[in-house]
Amino acid sequence: MFAAYAARIDRDQPLNGLELGERPAPAARDGWTTVNVRAASLNHHDLWSLRGVGLAEDKLPMILGCDAAGVDEDGNEVVLHSVIGQTGHGVGPKEPRSILTERYQGTFAEQVSVPAWNVLPKPKELSFEEAACLPTAWLTAYRMLFTNAGVRPGDSVLVQGAGGGVATAAIALGKAAGLRVFATSRDEAKRKRALELGAVEAVESGARLPQRVDAVIETVGAATWSHSVKSLKPGGTLVISGATSGDRPSHAELTRIFFLELKVVGSTMGTKDELEDLLSFCAATGVRPVIDEVLPLDRAREGFERMESGELFGKVVLNTP
């Protein structure tokens, strides 16, 4: 079957390790099911995998891709939950939790095999391309907002770095949930898009907000850390799920954190139940993932290049014939 896969690890030039070509189809395995992939979306996790983060060389070649929607062996339209080993279903109770492509072949292929427990029904209201955007970036944003930030309708939220997958999701989800959303970006066009998505105000990175907020959604890291801390109300919550600009801020703002009793919460992915809730939320409210571009699988390299450049707003989706 045709696939996009990591053939080599290159920490400095990750796309040097990306290959497109034939790979073995999934073999039958007890407790697992094979899904015919209709659409799969790119995440920065895929670039990190090509750099060797979370992917050991002895696992190569590894088909990349965490997210997918498709049709299962019984003809059902489904969405995949890409966290494997969370409960032991299909893998054994002592296996550590991992994300697809860390231990098991991923979704950038015509077929993918996952534990049957990891398959959820796709709502009829969502296209395959829309559904394929949800299991990583959108699920991460959903958990950050509603589980770890604990915000409720009427609260205010700052989303750093509008344009990325998680940030875009947080703006759209926050608007649909009745939050007052502020956003930042260095790029004027991305600030405009954030307003169109539902942000009440979009400012340059580091600019003072018109008010302090109840929570901050942080995926940028070092470059925005100080601004995130300073933007919070006393007792507010900073939720972090990434550090694309680095994980060592020049000023940790520890005095402000303890004096104002701020909370800093780490957040990674989400549970199967949260993904089910997210699918229902999107189906019921009409909120939909922002898709920057849809490409056929054989043009996957173009999608990776676009994501690596940062010149996108929302998700890049790959579909199969």
> Domain coordinates of the chain in residue numbers?
2-134+289-319, 137-266
pLDDT at 196: 94
pLDDT at 313: 83
Q: 128-156 pLDDT, tens per residue?
A: 999 999 999 999 999 999 999 999 999 99
pLDDT at 312: 82
- Helix H segments across the chain? 44-50, 128-131, 139-142, 165-176, 188-197, 225-230, 254-259, 272-285, 300-309
pLDDT at 314: 84
Banded model confidence at residue 88, pLDDT cuts 50, 70, 90: confident
Mean pLDDT of 7-24: 96
Measured in whole angstroms, how far is the alpha carbon of residue 315 from the centre of its chain? 9
Q: 113-126 pLDDT, tens per residue?
A: 999 999 999 999 99
Q: 189-235 pLDDT, tens per residue?
A: 999 999 999 999 999 999 999 999 999 999 999 999 999 999 999 99
Q: 34-66 pLDDT, tens per residue?
A: 999 999 999 989 999 999 998 999 999 999 999
Instruction: Name the CATH code of domain 2-134+289-319 (choices 3.40.50.2300, 3.40.50.1110, 3.30.360.10, 3.90.180.10).
Output: 3.90.180.10
- What is the Cα–Cα distance from 69 to 119, expressed in whole angstroms? 9
- What is the Cα–Cα distance from 310 to 22, expressed in whole angstroms? 29
Exposure of 300 in the CB half-sphere (CA atoms within 13 A): 29
Checking if the pLDDT of 187 tops 80, the result is: yes
Its CATH class, for the domain covering 137-266, is alpha beta
Measured in whole angstroms, how far is the alpha carbon of residue 260 from the centre of its chain? 30
Question: What is the model's pTM?
Answer: 0.92
Banded model confidence at residue 26, pLDDT cuts 50, 70, 90: very high
Checking if the pLDDT of 321 tops 80, the result is: no
Whose CA is closest to 195, among 219, 228, 172? 172
Strands, DSSP E only, in the chain? Answer: 2-6, 18-22, 32-41, 62-63, 69-71, 77-80, 83-84, 98-99, 111-115, 119-121, 156-159, 180-184, 201-203, 213-218, 232-240, 263-266, 291-296, 315-319
Whose CA is closest to 278, among 149, 134, 145, 71? 134
Checking if the pLDDT of 316 tops 80, the result is: yes
Contact between 225 and 205 under an 8 Å Cβ cutoff? The reply is: no
**Percent of the chain predicted with pLDDT > 70:** 100
